[in-house]
Protein backbone atom coordinates (compact mmCIF):
# COMPACT_ATOMS: atom_id res chain seq x y z
CA UNK A 1 0.00 0.00 0.00
CA UNK A 2 2.88 2.40 0.70
CA UNK A 3 3.99 2.33 -2.95
CA UNK A 4 0.61 3.75 -3.98
CA UNK A 5 1.44 6.94 -2.05
CA UNK A 6 5.10 7.12 -3.02
CA UNK A 7 4.40 9.56 -5.87
CA UNK A 8 2.55 11.84 -3.44
CA UNK A 9 5.82 12.80 -1.74
CA UNK A 10 6.58 16.47 -2.29
CA UNK A 11 10.13 15.72 -3.44
CA UNK A 12 8.81 13.48 -6.23
CA UNK A 13 6.49 16.12 -7.72
CA UNK A 14 7.33 17.90 -10.97
CA UNK A 15 5.16 20.85 -10.02
CA UNK A 16 6.98 21.77 -6.83
CA UNK A 17 10.49 22.51 -8.16
CA UNK A 18 8.94 24.42 -11.07
CA UNK A 19 6.80 26.47 -8.67
CA UNK A 20 9.64 27.11 -6.21
CA UNK A 21 12.06 27.97 -9.02
CA UNK A 22 9.61 30.41 -10.60
CA UNK A 23 9.19 32.18 -7.25
CA UNK A 24 12.97 32.30 -6.73
CA UNK A 25 13.58 33.68 -10.23
CA UNK A 26 10.99 36.43 -9.69
CA UNK A 27 12.70 37.28 -6.37
CA UNK A 28 16.09 37.41 -8.12
CA UNK A 29 14.77 39.96 -10.61
CA UNK A 30 13.49 42.20 -7.80
CA UNK A 31 16.73 44.06 -6.98
CA UNK A 32 17.60 44.38 -10.67
CA UNK A 33 14.26 46.06 -11.44
CA UNK A 34 13.85 48.11 -8.25
CA UNK A 35 16.31 50.74 -9.46
CA UNK A 36 14.04 51.56 -12.42
CA UNK A 37 10.80 51.24 -10.47
CA UNK A 38 9.45 48.16 -12.23
CA UNK A 39 7.86 45.01 -10.90
CA UNK A 40 8.56 41.69 -12.55
CA UNK A 41 5.13 41.54 -14.29
CA UNK A 42 5.64 45.12 -15.55
CA UNK A 43 9.07 44.12 -16.89
CA UNK A 44 7.57 41.15 -18.77
CA UNK A 45 4.86 43.40 -20.19
CA UNK A 46 7.42 45.90 -21.44
CA UNK A 47 9.56 43.11 -22.92
CA UNK A 48 6.55 41.96 -24.93
CA UNK A 49 5.76 45.49 -26.08
CA UNK A 50 9.38 46.28 -26.99
CA UNK A 51 9.41 43.12 -29.09
CA UNK A 52 6.34 44.06 -31.12
CA UNK A 53 7.72 45.02 -34.55
CA UNK A 54 4.40 45.99 -36.11
CA UNK A 55 3.49 49.04 -34.07
CA UNK A 56 0.77 49.04 -31.44
CA UNK A 57 -0.24 45.78 -29.82
CA UNK A 58 -3.77 45.05 -28.67
CA UNK A 59 -4.50 44.05 -25.09
CA UNK A 60 -5.69 40.69 -26.45
CA UNK A 61 -2.43 40.11 -28.32
CA UNK A 62 -0.45 41.05 -25.23
CA UNK A 63 -2.54 38.66 -23.14
CA UNK A 64 -1.81 35.83 -25.57
CA UNK A 65 1.90 36.67 -25.58
CA UNK A 66 2.13 36.77 -21.78
CA UNK A 67 -0.45 34.01 -21.24
CA UNK A 68 -2.51 36.33 -19.03
CA UNK A 69 -6.21 37.15 -19.06
CA UNK A 70 -7.60 40.66 -19.48
CA UNK A 71 -8.61 40.86 -15.82
CA UNK A 72 -4.98 40.38 -14.79
CA UNK A 73 -3.59 42.67 -17.49
CA UNK A 74 -5.87 45.67 -17.01
CA UNK A 75 -4.60 46.81 -13.58
CA UNK A 76 -1.02 46.16 -14.69
CA UNK A 77 -1.50 48.28 -17.81
CA UNK A 78 -3.17 51.04 -15.81
CA UNK A 79 -0.13 51.23 -13.51
CA UNK A 80 2.26 51.34 -16.47
CA UNK A 81 0.13 54.07 -18.05
CA UNK A 82 0.03 56.07 -14.82
CA UNK A 83 3.84 55.79 -14.62
CA UNK A 84 4.05 57.25 -18.14
CA UNK A 85 5.43 54.16 -19.87
CA UNK A 86 2.52 53.46 -22.23
CA UNK A 87 -0.77 54.78 -23.47
CA UNK A 88 -4.01 52.91 -24.09
CA UNK A 89 -6.51 53.92 -26.75
CA UNK A 90 -9.51 52.40 -28.46
CA UNK A 91 -8.91 51.06 -31.95
CA UNK A 92 -10.74 53.46 -34.30
CA UNK A 93 -11.55 50.51 -36.60
CA UNK A 94 -12.93 48.33 -33.80
CA UNK A 95 -13.95 50.05 -30.56
CA UNK A 96 -13.85 46.73 -28.69
CA UNK A 97 -10.09 46.55 -29.06
CA UNK A 98 -7.66 48.53 -26.94
CA UNK A 99 -4.34 49.47 -28.54
CA UNK A 100 -1.17 49.84 -26.51
CA UNK A 101 1.54 52.29 -27.51
CA UNK A 102 4.80 52.75 -25.67
CA UNK A 103 5.60 56.35 -24.81
CA UNK A 104 9.04 57.88 -25.33
CA UNK A 105 9.60 57.25 -21.64
CA UNK A 106 8.61 53.61 -22.12
CA UNK A 107 11.07 53.21 -24.96
CA UNK A 108 13.81 54.97 -22.95
CA UNK A 109 13.31 52.49 -20.14
CA UNK A 110 14.56 49.76 -22.46
CA UNK A 111 18.06 51.25 -22.30
CA UNK A 112 17.91 51.32 -18.50
CA UNK A 113 17.12 47.58 -18.25
CA UNK A 114 19.25 46.35 -21.15
CA UNK A 115 21.76 44.70 -18.80
CA UNK A 116 19.18 42.98 -16.59
CA UNK A 117 19.22 39.62 -18.46
CA UNK A 118 23.02 39.40 -18.38
CA UNK A 119 23.14 40.48 -14.73
CA UNK A 120 20.66 37.76 -13.82
CA UNK A 121 22.49 35.08 -15.80
CA UNK A 122 25.80 35.98 -14.15
CA UNK A 123 24.18 35.65 -10.73
CA UNK A 124 22.89 32.16 -11.63
CA UNK A 125 26.30 30.88 -12.69
CA UNK A 126 24.77 28.82 -15.51
CA UNK A 127 26.81 27.96 -18.57
CA UNK A 128 25.44 29.11 -21.91
CA UNK A 129 24.83 25.45 -22.80
CA UNK A 130 22.93 24.74 -19.57
CA UNK A 131 20.88 27.90 -20.02
CA UNK A 132 19.98 26.95 -23.60
CA UNK A 133 19.05 23.39 -22.57
CA UNK A 134 16.97 24.56 -19.61
CA UNK A 135 15.16 27.05 -21.81
CA UNK A 136 14.54 24.38 -24.47
CA UNK A 137 13.12 21.93 -21.92
CA UNK A 138 10.89 24.56 -20.31
CA UNK A 139 9.59 25.69 -23.70
CA UNK A 140 8.89 22.06 -24.62
CA UNK A 141 7.08 21.43 -21.33
CA UNK A 142 5.00 24.59 -21.68
CA UNK A 143 4.05 23.73 -25.24
CA UNK A 144 3.02 20.21 -24.23
CA UNK A 145 0.97 21.44 -21.28
CA UNK A 146 -0.84 24.07 -23.33
CA UNK A 147 -1.69 21.73 -26.20
CA UNK A 148 -2.66 18.56 -24.38
CA UNK A 149 -6.10 17.45 -23.42
CA UNK A 150 -6.51 17.36 -19.65
CA UNK A 151 -5.50 13.99 -18.23
CA UNK A 152 -8.28 11.80 -16.93
CA UNK A 153 -8.19 10.92 -13.27
CA UNK A 154 -8.22 7.22 -12.53
CA UNK A 155 -10.09 6.00 -9.49
CA UNK A 156 -8.61 3.16 -7.47
Spatial separation of the C-alpha atoms in residues 35 and 7, rounded to whole Å: 43
Yes or no: is domain 44-116 CATH 1.10.10.10?
A: yes
Segment 68-97, tens digit of pLDDT: 999 999 999 999 999 999 999 999 989 899
Domain boundaries, the chain: 44-116
Residue 156 has pLDDT above 80, yes or no: no
Higher pLDDT, 5 or 113: 113
Instruction: Let me know how long the chain is.
Output: 156
Segment among 40-49, 105-114, 123-132 with least mean pLDDT: 123-132
**DSSP per position, 108-149:** HHHHHTTTHHHHHHHHHT--HHHHHHHHHHHHHHHHHHHHSP
pTM (predicted TM-score)? 0.88
- Which residue in 38, 29, 58, 26 sits closest to 108, CA to CA? 38
pLDDT for the residue 105:
97
Residue 129 has pLDDT above 90, yes or no: yes
Mean pLDDT, the chain, rounded, equals 92
Amino acid sequence: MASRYLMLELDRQLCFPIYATARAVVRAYGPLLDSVGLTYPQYLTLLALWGSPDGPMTVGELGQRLRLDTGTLTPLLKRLEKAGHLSRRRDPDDERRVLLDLTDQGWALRDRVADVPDDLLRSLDLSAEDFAELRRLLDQLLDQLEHQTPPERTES
